[in-house]
Chain A
Amino acid sequence: MTTVVELPTPTVVAPRSRRRALRRVLRNPLAAAGLVVVVVVLAAAALADLLAPYPFDLVDFDATLQPPSLAHWFGTDELGRDQLSRVLHGLRVSMIVGVMSVVLSLVVGVPLGLLAGFYRLLDPVISRLTDTLLAFPFLVLAVGLAAILGPSLTTATVALAVGLLPLIIRVARSETLRLREMDFVAAAVADGADDLELLRRHILPNAVNALLVQATVAVPLAIIGEAILSFLGLGVRPPIPSLGVMIASAQPLFRDGPWLAVIPGVAIVVLTLALNLFGDGLRDALDPRELRR
Chain B
Amino acid sequence: MGRYLLRRLVESAVTLVLATMVVFLGVRALPGDPARTLAGEEADPVAIDEIRRQYGLDQPVPVQYYRYLENLARGEMGDSLRTGLPVTETIRDALPVTLQLAVFSLAVAVLIGIGTGVVAAVRRRGPAEWGANTVALLGLSIPNFWLGLMAILVFAIAFPVLPASGFVSVFENPVESFRHLLMPSLVLGTGLAAVVMRQTRSAMLESLSADYVRTARAKGLSGAQVVLSHALRNSLIVVVTIVGLQLGGLISGAVVTEQIFVLPGFGKLTIDAVFTRDYPMIQGVVLVTAAAYIGINLLVDMLYSVIDPRIRVGGAAL
**Interface, chain A (partner B; CB < 8 A):** 128-129, 131-132, 134-140, 143-144, 146-148, 150, 170, 174, 220, 224, 227-228, 231-234, 247, 251, 254-255, 258, 261-262, 265, 268-269, 272-273, 276-277, 280, 293
Contact = CB atoms under 8 A, between A and B. Distances in A.
B274 interface: yes
Interface string B29-72: 11100000000000000000000000000000000000000000
B29 A128 contact: no
B152 to A, nearest CB: 7
Contacts of A150: 31
A148 B31 CA distance: 6
B256 A138 contact: no
A172 to B, nearest CB: 12
Given A140-B252, A144-B26, A254-B153, A228 B145 contact: yes
B151 to A, nearest CB: 12
A276 B19 CA distance: 32
Contacts of A170: 315, 317
Nearest to A166: B317
B137 A276 contact: yes
Contacts of A293: 205
A174 B145 contact: no
A261 B140 contact: no
Contacts of B297: 134-135
B228 interface: no
Interface stretch (B10-18, B95-103, B167-175): B10-18
Given A147-B274, A276-B141, A136 B153 contact: no
B205 A148 contact: no
A232 B256 CA distance: 8
B4 interface: no
Most buried by B among A228, A262, A277: A228
Given A228-B145, A261-B149, A262-B150, A143 B205 contact: no
A276 B289 CA distance: 29
Interface in B90-148: 137-138, 140-143, 145-146
Interface of B: 11, 14-16, 18-19, 22, 26, 29-31, 137-138, 140-143, 145-146, 149-150, 152-153, 157, 205, 248-249, 251-253, 255-256, 259, 270-271, 274-275, 277, 282, 286, 289-290, 293-294, 297, 314-315, 317
A128 B15 contact: yes
Interface SS, B side: helix
Contact of A128 (B11, B26, B152, B315): B11
B256 A140 contact: no
B315 A137 contact: no
A253 to B, nearest CB: 11
A226 to B, nearest CB: 10
Given A139-B253, A247-B145, A247-B146, 4 more contacts: A137-B249, A147-B274, A148-B29, A276-B141
22 contacts: A131-B314, A132-B15, A132-B22, A134-B297, A135-B15, A135-B19, A135-B294, A135-B297, A136-B293, A137-B248, A140-B290, A143-B271, A144-B274, A144-B282, A148-B29, A174-B315, A228-B145, A232-B271, A269-B143, A272-B140, A273-B138, A276-B140
A232 B26 CA distance: 20
A129 B21 CA distance: 12
B282 A132 contact: no
A228 B256 contact: yes
A272 B290 CA distance: 28
Contacts of B138: 269, 273
Nearest to B314: A131
B143 A265 contact: yes
A269 B282 contact: no
Contacts of B18: 128-129, 131-132
